[in-house]
Every structure is written in C-alpha cells, then in structure tokens.
Amino acid sequence: MRTQIFTFGNYLSEKFGCKVSKIPVSISGFTCPNIDGSVAKGGCTFCENDSFSPSLDKAKPLKGFFLNLESSHNPYLEKQLEQLEWQFNALSQKLSRNNGTQKYLVYFQSFTNTYAPLETLKALYEKALSFENVVGLSIGTRSDSISDETFEYLSELSKKTELWIEFGIQSIFDETLEKINRGHTSENVKQAILKAKSHGLNVCGHLIFGLPGESKEMMLQTAQAAYDLGVDSLKYHPLYVVKRTALANEYARGEFEPISEELYLEVLCEALRIKPPFISVQRLTAGINDDSLIAPQWCKDKNAQLRSINNSLKSVGLKY
C-alpha cells in the first residue's frame, strides 16, 4: 500500500467541493527589484521570465506599460485591468472546457506581484476577485518586496477570500543565493515567511534542486528548513537552462552542470518522504518544451518527467 501525497488540488477540492484551478496571469508593468537595480542588477542568473509562464505566450500584450514605483499614480492602471480581465477570460474558458474546472484562483505569477504601490495592488487584486467563479488569489512575490502595509491589507483580505502568497525560497544557503544573484539572504526569506504566517496568510514556498554547487545533502537541508518554517504548500523545481540568461552563459563556458534526472528523482523522493503530510504539493517538476531550453534535455517532456517521478515514488512508498 502506497501513501497518497496530499496535493494542492486535493486541498482545494476538499475545501470548495468542486474542481478548482489556478489561472496564471501576467501583468505588464510589474518588475523585480533584482532587475530594476534596487537590490541587484540583471535578475537571477536563471531568470528569463517568459520561460516560467509558458501558458501566457499568447497573452494580450501591453508593451511599454510600467508602474511608477515612487507614487500611487499609475496612468496605465485601466489598461492593466483590461489586460487582467482578458487573460482571465481566455484561460478560464479553456480550463472549463478542457478540464471541467468550476472555480478559480487567480494566480499573479510573473515577476514580483507585491512590488507596486498599495493602491495599484488593491485595484488589481479586487478586480481579479470580482470575476465570475473566482474564490481567491495566489500572489507570487519575493521576500524582500512586500511592505508591512501590504501584509496588513492581505491579512484583512484573507478574512474574506482564499488567499495565498508564494515566496521563492530556492535555497537556505547564502553562498548559493549569491551565486545565482538572488539579491537577498536566507534570513530575509525566513523572516518574510514568519511574518506572513503571523498575519494568518497561507504560504507556498518554491524550492529549486540543482542550484550551482549544491550537493544532495544541501538540497534536502533546504527542504527540511522550509518544512520547519511552517509553509502550507510547496513547489519543487529542477534548475534548467534557457536562452537569454546569465546561467546560459555560465553553461556555455563550462561553469555549470545541470542536475541529472537520476539525482533530481533521488532528492525529490527523499524530500517528499520527509515532508509533513499536512503540507500540500503544488508541483513536482518544471521544464519547457520549446527551443529556448538549452539543458538538461530531460526537462523538455513534462509527461515523461511525471512518469519517471511516479515510478520513483513507488520505491519510497508514495503515490502522486
């Protein structure tokens, strides 16, 4: 008998009594303090943001719309709201038709979605919550990019709707975070997660296995640290190399070797085996199936990855 892994889908269906899906949206104008120079320049070494939002490749473009981070004035807000609605309608109709989805969480996915004036955030979040059959939000952000004022607002909002905040933990080792030009420390992540939990927010953490210089033991220490911080859900990713990134340059110079599928499966299975059962799982792997992927090639076929993962999980008595 194998133990069924508690998935985020399980959590949502149990809570809402129907199939609930996340709708990823990408809002023009959002950026990142690691891109605009506030904390670092150039972004994380692995980041070419479009590669992490492949479902948005046909999203309605809004070239040239940027947030004014110095004030609450954003002359493009109406266009951003239109863009939000356009993306939601297109993707929700597809999910309803193909997957039988009945309710939705709007997932602010690309870039750093609390890195803007609070009034702009309120307008976008509350617009998303006004859409038909939306039961909540999931907000992707960085631990160094959310103010106390925003935490307080989200805390109040969470009393009326399902609300999740997603932080990129990636690694607990500061030397690794420095290598990938992350722009913050592991302590910064720890304090942000603890603060989010103190405000009653649901937290999803992102972990990357295969970061430069990390051993199996280091990856598992990061997973255990995330569990100990009290996250409610997790996404596990292998580090893959895409074009137009600093990591691609490192790979070309022979300075970075991607994680093998065998090692990824070994680390993932052990991380899932030691995970507390109440922490849900939102993702077990990642990749991209187009010519922007440089390496490793095993990240190209998502279905093949999942077959390999399921076969490996059997060896530790788990089922996904």
Question: In three state form, how does the secondary structure of 49-88 look?
Answer: HHHHCHHHCCCCCCCCCCCCCCCCCCCCHHHHHHHHHHHH
**230, two tokens:** 């009290």
Is 159 buried (19+), middle (13-18) or exposed (0-12) by CB count in 10 A?
A: exposed
Is the distance from CB of 209 to CB of 267 less than 8 angstroms?
yes
Is the distance from CB of 203 to CB of 193 less than 8 angstroms?
yes
pTM of the model: 0.90
Question: What is the per-residue pLDDT for 319?
Answer: 94
Residue 170, CA distances (Å) to 8, 141, 167 in order: 19, 13, 9
To the nearest 10°, report the CA torsion of 193, 194, 195, 198: 120
Distance CA 45, CA 286 (A): 17
Question: What is the per-residue pLDDT for 49?
Answer: 52
Per DSSP (E only), the strands in the chain are 3-4, 20-25, 103-108, 134-141, 162-170, 202-209, 233-238, 241-242, 280-283, 293-295, 318-319
Question: What is the per-residue pLDDT for 293?
Answer: 96
Three-state SS string over 27-42 comes to CCCCCCCCCECCCCEC
Topology of domain 3-319 in CATH is Transcription Regulator spoIIAA (3.30.750)
User: Could you report the per-residue pLDDT of 29-43, keeping only the tens digit for each?
Assistant: 777 887 777 776 778
Is the distance from CB of 28 to CB of 80 less than 8 angstroms?
yes
Give the SS3 label for residue 170. strand
Q: Which of the residues in the chain have pLDDT under 50?
A: 51-72
User: Could you report the per-residue pLDDT of 124-141, keeping only the tens digit for each?
Assistant: 999 999 999 999 999 999
Most distant CA pair in the chain: distance in Å? 58
Distance CA 105, CA 127 (A): 13
Distance between first and last Cα of the chain:
13
